[in-house]
């Protein structure tokens, strides 16, 4: 029996669990080695160790309340609180205690075990924070999804995801029976076939695509813009995300605008033709020189060609390369150099007139009037949105300036600068005329 008691005492002493015993007055009379090391005690307590001094003050009610009830009613209790370990670190201990009795059956105090739950509680706190963030993220995702649904409903955009067989795996703003079917199954081969061609191409190449699909419904043409890009499903399989937007109204309006633009261009050219006729007739009646009438007529023709360039470009502007090629095509020994840029519509007529004036003067008096003469037209963006356009003659006769500046000089300087919201300089070098213009490629809005 003594050997058994000794073995039990050694087991209690050496167990890693935090064991303790208190007497009927609540004094601590036994702590095993693990519990003594926790509180930094070198020797076993003799009723004089006050464990409550290590309990954080704000946690007193969590321990003293259950402890007093357990002692008073001689019943088991469980409590949990934070204690300061001997090294100063705060640890969370859960206490499980039960009453014990002496050999005569009298209440002798409490015995218990303290479980260190610090890591568990920290993990639970981390999990709680993660769940909170996840809940917030899910709520945000629901809000974004709802906004996306409303946006697609308002805009008329149909969105979908397709698997490798081009079947719908997700759809928004499409019929409810779309899932599991292909576009051709849903709307027929005539309409769905071209859509599937786009989806299949994106799935095979991985290159995003945008295509307009045209079809007829009840003898009415409809245009749909299909956009698609390849993606991957949650299972890691290739898929295609696609959107479809009805652009019929936009296309019809564009056709109407194109018709109106062509009609307007036709009328503008008629006005130029009438003005040319009036100038020629007036010049003859007034006895003006034929050269005067011819000069004005050519300038009007230049403006008419500039108008054609604007219409041909199909946008609010014209490409500089095409414009120069059109107005300088009749000249030889002219080099054009520069990356193509789009000129604003307001600038196009003045660049055209400038090229006409410069080309005419070069043929008559400048570099192109001599066999060795050449012209280089170049441009560069000095900074984003600011273009520098240069006409440089070489190999011509040396000249220091204009004897009697006329309309052409004014057009190349003051008129051009004012019309383009830029600057224009005209001067002479040993090889001939040099003209440099700088102007913005975008409109500058003024207040007021």
Question: Residue 130: inside a domain, yes or no?
Answer: no
Q: 174 and 106, same structural domain? A: no
Question: Residue 209: inside a domain, yes or no?
Answer: yes
Question: Residue 52: inside a domain, yes or no?
Answer: yes
More confident residue, 408 or 36: 36
Last residue of a domain, which of 212, 227, 246? 246
CATH of the domain at 51: 3.30.450.20
Q: Which token pair is 81?
A: 């609180």
Composition of the chain by helix, strand, coil, percent to 5: 45, 30, 25
CA-based max dimension of the chain: 148
Q: 259 and 239, same structural domain? A: no
What SS3 state is found at 383?
strand
Q: Which token pair is 294?
A: 């011819």
For the chain, the distance separating the N- and C-terminal CA atoms, rounded to the nearest angstrom, is 109
Q: 422 and 285, same structural domain? A: yes
Least Cα distance to 352 among 295, 407, 307 occurs for: 307
Q: 307 and 400, same structural domain? A: yes
Distance of CA 190 to the CA centre of its chain: 35
Distance (Å, whole) CA 88 – CA 40:
10
Q: 210 and 257, same structural domain? A: no
Question: Residue 383: inside a domain, yes or no?
Answer: yes
Last residue of a domain, which of 225, 246, 267? 246
Q: pLDDT at position 54, please? A: 95
Distance (Å, whole) CA 13 – CA 32:
5
pLDDT digits (tens, 9 = 90+) for 106-165: 999 999 999 999 999 999 999 999 999 999 998 988 887 777 767 666 667 888 999 999
Q: Report the chain's mean pLDDT, rounded to a whole number.
A: 83
The residue range of the domain holding 83 is 12-116
Q: pLDDT at position 434, please? A: 92
Question: Residue 203: inside a domain, yes or no?
Answer: yes
- 228: Cβ–Cβ under 8 A, 6 or more apart, which residues? 198, 199, 202, 208, 209, 210, 240, 241, 242, 243
Going by the DSSP 8-state scheme, the letter that residue 415 receives in this structure is I
CATH of the domain at 375: 3.30.565.10
- 448: Cβ–Cβ under 8 A, 6 or more apart, which residues? none
Question: Residue 435: inside a domain, yes or no?
Answer: yes
Q: 433 and 364, same structural domain? A: yes
Last residue of a domain, which of 116, 139, 167? 116
Number of domains in the chain: 3
Question: Residue 213: inside a domain, yes or no?
Answer: yes
pLDDT-derived band at 448 (thresholds 50, 70, 90) equals very low
Q: 54 and 34, same structural domain? A: yes
More confident residue, 268 or 43: 43
Question: Residue 127: inside a domain, yes or no?
Answer: no
Q: 198 and 327, same structural domain? A: no
Prediction pTM value: 0.41
Q: 370 and 284, same structural domain? A: yes
pLDDT digits (tens, 9 = 90+) for 275-316: 656 656 566 666 666 666 566 666 666 656 555 555 554 556
Q: 347 and 198, same structural domain? A: no
């Amino acid at each position: 029996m003594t050997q058994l008691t000794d073995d039990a005492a050694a087991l209690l002493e050496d167990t890693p669990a935090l064991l303790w015993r208190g007497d009927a007055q609540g004094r601590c009379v036994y702590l095993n080695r693990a519990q003594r090391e926790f509180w930094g005690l070198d020797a076993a307590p003799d009723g004089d160790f006050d464990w409550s001094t290590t309990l954080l003050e704000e946690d007193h009610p969590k321990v003293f309340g259950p402890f007093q009830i357990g002692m008073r009613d001689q019943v088991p209790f469980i409590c949990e609180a934070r204690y300061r370990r001997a090294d100063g670190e705060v640890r969370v201990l859960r206490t499980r205690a039960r009453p014990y009795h002496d050999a005569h059956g009298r209440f002798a105090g409490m015995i218990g075990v303290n479980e260190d739950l610090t890591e568990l509680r920290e993990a639970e706190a981390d999990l709680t924070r993660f769940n909170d963030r996840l809940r917030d993220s899910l709520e945000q995702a629901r809000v974004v999804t709802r906004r996306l649904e409303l946006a697609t409903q308002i805009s008329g955009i149909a969105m979908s995801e397709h698997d490798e067989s081009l079947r719908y795996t997700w759809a928004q703003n499409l019929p409810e029976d779309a899932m599991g079917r292909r576009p051709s199954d849903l709307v027929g081969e005539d309409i769905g076939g071209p859509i599937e061609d786009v989806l299949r191409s994106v799935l095979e190449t991985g290159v995003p695509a945008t295509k307009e699909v045209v079809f007829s419904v009840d003898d009415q043409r409809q245009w749909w813009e299909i956009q698609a890009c390849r993606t991957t499903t949650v299972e890691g399989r290739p898929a295609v995300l696609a959107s479809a937007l009805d652009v019929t109204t936009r296309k019809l309006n564009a056709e109407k605008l194109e018709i109106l633009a062509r009609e307007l261009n036709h009328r503008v050219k008629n006005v130029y033709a009438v003005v040319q006729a009036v100038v020629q007739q007036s010049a003859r009646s007034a006895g003006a020189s034929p050269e005067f009438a011819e000069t004005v007529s050519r300038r009007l023709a230049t403006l008419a060609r500039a108008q054609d360039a604007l219409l041909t470009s199909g946008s609010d502007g014209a490409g500089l390369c095409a414009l120069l090629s059109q107005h300088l095509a009749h000249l030889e020994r002219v080099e054009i150099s520069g990356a193509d840029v789009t000129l604003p519509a307001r600038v196009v007529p003045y660049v055209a007139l400038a090229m006409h004036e410069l080309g005419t003067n070069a043929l008559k008096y400048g570099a192109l009037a001599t066999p060795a003469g050449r012209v280089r037209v170049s441009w560069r963006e000095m900074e984003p949105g600011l273009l520098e356009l240069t006409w440089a003659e070489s190999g011509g006769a040396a000249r220091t300036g204009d004897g009697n500046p006329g309309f052409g000089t004014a057009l190349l300087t003051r008129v051009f600068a004012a019309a383009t919201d830029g600057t224009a300089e005209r001067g002479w070098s040993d090889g001939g005329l040099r003209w440099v213009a700088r102007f913005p490629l975008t409109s500058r809005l003024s207040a007021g």
